[in-house]
Amino acid sequence: MCGPTPQGDHVRMTNTNSTNSIIAFRPATADDDRVLRDLSELDSAKPVERPAVLAVVDGQPVAAVSLSDGRIVADPFTRTEDVVRLLRSRIAWQAAARKSRRRPVFPLPRLRPAA
């Protein structure tokens, strides 16, 4: 369904069965449109469109969040509650980081060319 993740954040998790899983969060690209549609259909939800972030576990996309409206879709046949919680946290962290990097709210005086 999806090749190796070219970029994004990776987390290694150990579940109660002592197996390791690699979780990657990455921006959805045009190549992922079909994956977004498939996840939305599995979740019986309206299709999630880009811009979106995909959660990929061991190379399989299992959840996605729309950056436009915050909707999340997930594979109902996979245990995704922990992944969705991590995905929500990641998106909230990114939003806070973007907010703190914005320009100051107070107006700055305009510079005029020297005469």
27-66: pLDDT as tens digits: 999 999 999 999 999 999 999 999 999 999 999 999 999 9
Within-domain flag for 111: no
More confident residue, 49 or 112: 49
- Report if residue 99 sits inside a domain: no
User: Is the pLDDT reported for residue 76 higher than 50?
Assistant: yes
Q: What is the mean pLDDT of residues 94-108?
A: 70
More confident: 77 or 95? 77
Our count of domains for the chain comes to 1
Whether 112 is in a domain gets the answer: no
In a domain, 104, yes or no: no
Tell me the β-bridge partners of 22: 12
Structure tokens at 19: 């197996």
Q: Which residues pair with 88 in a beta bridge?
A: none
Task: Note the pLDDT tens digit of each residue in 81-99.
Answer: 999 999 999 888 888 887 7
Whether residue 110 is contained in a domain is answered as no
Region of residue 69 (phi > 0: left; psi between -120 and 50: alpha; otherwise: beta): alpha
- Its domain, for residue 66, covers 9-92
